[in-house]
Structure 1
Amino acid sequence: MPGQTSPFNDRLRTLRRAAGLTIEQLAERSGVSARAISDMERGHSRAPQARTLAALVGGLGLDDKAGAGLTAAAKQARFPSPAGRPRLGEPPRGVTDFVGRQAEIEIVRHAARQAVDGDGLPPVVVVHGQPGLGKTALAVRAANELRADFPDGCLHVDLRGVDATPLTSGDALLRLLRALGVRPDQVADSDDERCAQLRGILHDRRCLLLLDNAGSEAQVRPLLPAGGRCLIIVTSRRTLGGLEGVLRIALPPLTREESAGLLRSLAIQAANPQTAPLVDQVTDLCGHLPLALRIAGTRLASRPQWTVWQLIERLADAGRRLAVLSAGDTGVATAFALSYAQLPAATAQLFRRLAHIPATDFAAPLAAVLIEAALPDAEDLLEDLVEVGLLQTEGAHRYRFHDLIRLYAGERLSAEEPAGTRAETTERMNTWLLDTAVVAGRWYEPEYGGLPDGWAGLAPLATLEEADAWLRAEVDNWLPALRTAAADGRNQLVADVAAATHWYSESTLRWRGWWEVRRLARTAAGALPDRRQLAFHTSLYASTAVYLMGLYEEAAEAAMEAYRLAQSIGDLREQARALSAAGIAWLNLRRMDDALWAHQTGCELADRAGDHDLYVDHVVGGGHALEYLDRPDEAVREFRRALAELDRRPVGARPAVAVRAHARYGVASTFHRAGRREETLRAVEQALPALIENRDDDLVAFVLILQGKAQAELGQPAEAHANLTRALEMLADSLPSGLENEARAMLPTLDATGAVEAHAELTRALETLAGESPA
């Protein structure tokens, strides 16, 4: 046993003296350092590895018998009887119901193979992640599996990195040296000497070091060996980014299947296959966090009278969930609190105020608003939270909470900040979100199309693409902010957001959120004294009812309400806008004469108002009314007139793209209805580029259906089948339409036609072969 004399120590010394060699002479002959030989003879280190032992046998010039005796003594020293082995530093007991993590364990296995091969520096694996993920359980599992590959010891040190007073590196060195058999009186006094002592001992050893719960790089760095065939596994809530040349495993939550497996292994109520959907609900409420799942499973198992549904009822209350997920001295909130307690004041303030954010993910500018800080300072604080495992990154520039950590942040917010401060923070956040939404949305408005003069906001909105990206990324934040503003009676702000996103909504028509935006804006405008705003937002509401919801009767009524409002105040533009929505609704209700009147009247009103965008829009609408009135030549003339007006009138860039697409589509649709197949195909070819430029997937799909139907009727079943199939795939998430139904009805016929053609082709081929002589 290291630190005491043993048969190997005595035999090595006896054999050296019998050979008449000093320690220095044996070192020169064998290539083993004099320090190492001296330590072995005095029992200050364990017996050597096989290659070092072979070098000593050669240096001593031993015959086979003497060499075998020294080897046997070395083996006895390296693997003493269990009763004599030191028990210091033994890893903690592993869990018996460990699930999943196979990919992560395989990474550790690979590192172990590298360590045993002895190529380069001993590998270091850092397992990091948020509290409760089972980092220690994974490390212990891997260590127990691999300990046979490291016969010189599997040593564990809890560095207590999240305690108020973490273990110092000097104390950690002392524990490791004692676990390696160094007597207390032989341990060096200074940390630097202890570090060198540890490295010297490990240089010729095969040990596995489990450095658990590390709090910083400074704790870990002195404990890492510089040589030898060792493996080091470090667990930490931090990424320990300052450690170089290490392999990092970012531990994620368990998968749903793994979570369910863990819960079933803990509680018999969850093992019943009939409870599978309920078990999935429990795992979701636990955020797939192993610690939470273990507590929930244990709570269920200790109460056999409970059902899984009763556990769900307790967990479903977000205000009580963290309290439910606690047992004895263990709890999810307790685990989070250890990390929270270590945060500096500014970081702790940001952590709890992030609970104000309604969405699951967010970007740094919103964090800066919450704490009224400069953007670079907020980014630094967010990265600090990521480093300690209290926040996760989501892509390149966004962040998110784990669900349970979010609840904990909310608890801290309520406990540590007064209600008045919380209300001020919420209002500041919502105002910033809505003001930014207005600026972003106005990039799409013909009369704006850029940033307002002198605007210096936190969000990147320097281009239309950036504005689009912000509106999409933050929609789950600015829409709740709009709801709050509406509930608080901030009616003008609600109306401004809806107006500013008017043109933006044209490129995102499928998003169901526009229905709520329009309803809120219509109600808000009704509370304002400006009747023009009410007419405007009622028209937008009507358009959304048509395009998004398919509520044509309601849309027509709302549109005519807006028209009468605009008439009462003499606003020609709003009259024209209202008639646009009415015309579209009546087209869908097959009230074609009403639709034609609406668009022709609207065209005249828009012309008088000088609104060229609405003018060309009404020309296209009138074309569709004529199309459905079976007046194809007049309809095509109207669509082509709209295209010509785009060259004559100063129509805004974005409206021009939309009108060009709809007019081109109208020509193709009119030829299709008139049964003019060749002209339909030519019109489709002209329409597709404009439709693609307009980014309207529904219209692209509709024109592909027109193309497919024409191809089918012209005897091109394969081409028709391909176009119709593609169109139906594009319309999978859209409202049902007559064209879509026609395409679905036609596909089986095309399949049958294709089969008949294939059979005929095969028959012709066989007949041809039958007439040929054998080769």
Structure 2
Amino acid sequence: MNSIGERIGVEVSLRGAFDLSYESLAPEQARTYRRLAWHPGVEITPLIASRLTGDALPKSEKALRDLARQHLLIEQTPGRYRFHDLLRLHAEEKAAEHENDEAKEEGIARLARTFAELSIAADIALRPYVTSRIVKVDPAFADAAQAARWLDAEKGNLVDLIDLAGRHDLFQETLWLAEGLWSLFLHHGQAHLWLRAGEAAVLAARRSEDERTLGRLLNKRALVHSHLGRVEEAMADLAAAEEIWSRREEWKRVAQTRQRRGTLALEHGDLQEAVGFLEDALAADEHTGAEHHRAVTLFLLGRAHLATGSPEKALGFLERALPPLENSVYNRARARIALGSTLLTLSRPEEARREVEAALREMVEHGSGPGQSEAWEVLGEIHEHQGDLGAARTAYENALESLDEKDPARRRVQERLDGSG
């Protein structure tokens, strides 16, 4: 038998075995098996099964255990399952044969809505200071750490669900899912993952003619492009967003966009331009009374003045920024790291170390790898300033370990490590 004939024979044999296993299932198990094929992601949980079938969670938990015992699912870790690739295809065939379009649309809508609401709940737990959310949902997580763990565990499923929701014209769910994933980029550096989600969300906003949401997404996508060093793409998104906000006379959003333009200029060495954008943003913040945004602008102005060689000015802005950031752990920690750099420049290393060590503890508590890396990097500079090269190398090594493999900051930290001995 030639290789093609052998392959066909194997496929026919496997299909027969799959059919036999399927036909031995109880009706409710068979329905769960079929409908799991509608889930676009790799990992399957009882919640996903429950949403696709409409069954209660305990019933779905039992169904998944039964399917795993009959070798129609693989239990990767406790409570998390997946299909073998060929079994997924078999389940898709059975769903096409036995399920109708109405049941499929209802199942996908339930799944997308549940995960969209959980995403918003996670974002609320991680960023309680945000007051501009269009939607509010009931709390689903005990604290920020639990929300971060859930987002990390489900990130692959969430991105796949964004694509699925967009294809099924579930625009609201698409946008909520992307909103929830924002914290994964902002606090955990998941830039490429968010760009994939963001593309689907931008498309959904345009298709639904939701101009306001489109402006918000363009602002966010610009920040991700900036993180990846894609300056032209970031500036283009910011210009498009600012045009939307100016046309709508949403001055808080104009201030936010100006702040991001200043941040982008600062990160890429256009220091005077950065100061100009940030001063414009601060004036707008003073006018609108957006306290948290004003505090972040003050923090960024502190960084900008430090970069221009004016540490005394930087110190003033940073000291003004810290009190309003009391309830924002992540941004307060960022400001303390910048304050540590400023104090080091002013030859006050012990004060600098106290600020940065406190910021590091906050970044660890918050679970932010990039934030921990930034703190370790400044601690390395402080140790170098004090002549302790061994401690400096350890700090830079810790900074590298805290970064994702694709994070552009790795190159800078590696250069510091190489230069420390």
TM-score by length of 1: 0.49
Q: Which of 538, 548, 559 is equivalent to 2:238? A: 559
Q: Which of 310, 316, 336 is equivalent to 1:631? A: 310
Counterparts in 2 of 1:177-326, with a 5 A limit? 302-303=1-2, 323=8, 325-326=10-11
Deviates more, 1:634-643 or 1:551-560: 551-560
The answer to whether the 8 A contact 2:337-2:378 is kept is no
Residue 510 of structure 1 corresponds to 190
Residue 717 of structure 1 corresponds to 389
Residue 376 of structure 2 corresponds to 704
Q: Which of 550, 553, 563 is equivalent to 2:229? A: 550
| Residue identity opposite 1:442 in structure 2 | I
The answer to whether the 8 A contact 2:341-2:378 is kept is yes
SS in 1 for 2:387: coil
**1:399-422 deviation per Cα after TM superposition (whole angstroms, max 9, x unaligned):** 222333223222222233345544
Residue 253 of structure 2 corresponds to 574
Residue 371 of structure 1 corresponds to 53
The answer to whether the 8 A contact 2:54-2:107 is kept is no
- Aligned CA-pair RMSD: 3.1
Q: In structure 2, how many angstroms separate the alpha carbons of the residues matched to 1:373 and 1:686? A: 47
The answer to whether the 8 A contact 1:705-1:739 is kept is no
SS in 2 for 1:394: strand
**1:412-470 deviation per Cα after TM superposition (whole angstroms, max 9, x unaligned):** 222333455445444443344334433443333425899835x8xxxx65655554343
Label 1:704 to 1:376 Cα distance change in 2 as closer, same or farther (>3 A). Answer: closer
Runs of 5+ unmatched residues, structure 2: none
More helix per residue: 2
The answer to whether the 8 A contact 1:668-1:680 is kept is yes
Q: In structure 1, how many angstroms separate the alpha carbons of the residues matched to 2:249 and 2:69? A: 62
Residue 735 of structure 1 corresponds to 408
Counterparts in 2 of 1:387-406, with a 5 A limit? 387-406=69-88
Q: Which of 97, 105, 116 is equivalent to 1:415? A: 97
Residue 767 of structure 1 corresponds to none
**1:82-136 deviation per Cα after TM superposition (whole angstroms, max 9, x unaligned):** xxxxxxxxxxxxxxxxxxxxxxxxxxxxxxxxxxxxxxxxxxxxxxxxxxxxxxx
| Residue identity opposite 1:536 in structure 2 | R
Confirm or deny that 1:519 pairs with 2:199. yes
The answer to whether the 8 A contact 1:440-1:471 is kept is yes
Counterparts in 2 of 1:452-601, with a 5 A limit? 452=137, 461=141, 464-503=144-183, 505-547=185-227, 549-601=228-280
Shift of 1:483: 1.3
Confirm or deny that 1:338 pairs with 2:20. yes
The answer to whether the 8 A contact 2:318-2:335 is kept is yes
Shift of 1:344: 1.4
Runs of 5+ unmatched residues, structure 1: 1-301, 316-320, 648-652, 751-775
Shift of 1:630: 0.6
Shift of 1:365: 1.8
SS in 1 for 2:409: coil
Confirm or deny that 1:744 pairs with 2:417. yes
**1:714-745 deviation per Cα after TM superposition (whole angstroms, max 9, x unaligned):** 33222222222222333352223664143133
| Residue identity opposite 1:690 in structure 2 | E
The answer to whether the 8 A contact 2:305-2:313 is kept is yes
**1:653-701 deviation per Cα after TM superposition (whole angstroms, max 9, x unaligned):** 3xx2122111111122234556765664454344433333343322322
| Residue identity opposite 1:551 in structure 2 | R
Q: In structure 1, how many angstroms separate the alpha carbons of the residues matched to 2:141 and 2:120? A: 11
Residue 338 of structure 2 corresponds to 666
Q: In structure 2, how many angstroms separate the alpha carbons of the residues matched to 1:537 and 1:741? A: 33
Deviates more, 1:577-586 or 1:667-676: 667-676
| Residue identity opposite 2:286 in structure 1 | D
SS in 2 for 1:393: strand
Q: For the pair shown, which has the larger CA radius of gyration, 1 or 2?
A: 1
Residue 350 of structure 1 corresponds to 32
**1:471-507 deviation per Cα after TM superposition (whole angstroms, max 9, x unaligned):** 3333322322211332344434333333454456422
Q: In structure 1, how many angstroms separate the alpha carbons of the residues matched to 2:9 and 2:113? A: 36
**1:363-413 deviation per Cα after TM superposition (whole angstroms, max 9, x unaligned):** 112112222222222222222223323223232322222333223222222
Q: In structure 2, how many angstroms separate the alpha carbons of the residues matched to 1:678 and 1:689? A: 17
The answer to whether the 8 A contact 1:643-1:663 is kept is yes
SS in 2 for 1:590: coil
The answer to whether the 8 A contact 1:441-1:504 is kept is no
Q: In structure 2, how many angstroms separate the alpha carbons of the residues matched to 1:451 and 1:523? A: 23
Give the number of equivalent residue pairs. Answer: 417
Q: In structure 1, how many angstroms separate the alpha carbons of the residues matched to 2:162 and 2:181? A: 12
Q: In structure 1, how many angstroms separate the alpha carbons of the residues matched to 2:113 and 2:323? A: 44
Q: Which of 576, 582, 602 is equivalent to 2:281? A: 602
TM-score by length of 2: 0.87
Q: In structure 2, how many angstroms separate the alpha carbons of the residues matched to 1:381 and 1:397? A: 12
Confirm or deny that 1:726 pairs with 2:411. no
Query: Structure 1 vs Structure 2: percent identity of aligned residues?
Result: 24
Q: In structure 2, how many angstroms separate the alpha carbons of the residues matched to 1:717 and 1:383? A: 55
Residue 35 of structure 1 corresponds to none
Label 1:720 to 1:440 Cα distance change in 2 as closer, same or farther (>3 A). Answer: closer
Residue 444 of structure 1 corresponds to 126
Shift of 1:643: 1.1
Label 1:694 to 1:621 Cα distance change in 2 as closer, same or farther (>3 A). Answer: farther
Q: In structure 1, how many angstroms separate the alpha carbons of the residues matched to 2:377 and 2:142? A: 39
SS in 1 for 2:40: coil
SS in 2 for 1:486: helix
Q: With CA pairs under 8 Å and 6+ residues apart, which has the higher RCO, 1 or 2?
A: 2
SS in 1 for 2:37: helix
Q: In structure 2, how many angstroms separate the alpha carbons of the residues matched to 1:468 and 1:598? A: 33
| Residue identity opposite 1:343 in structure 2 | L
Label 1:661 to 1:440 Cα distance change in 2 as closer, same or farther (>3 A). Answer: closer
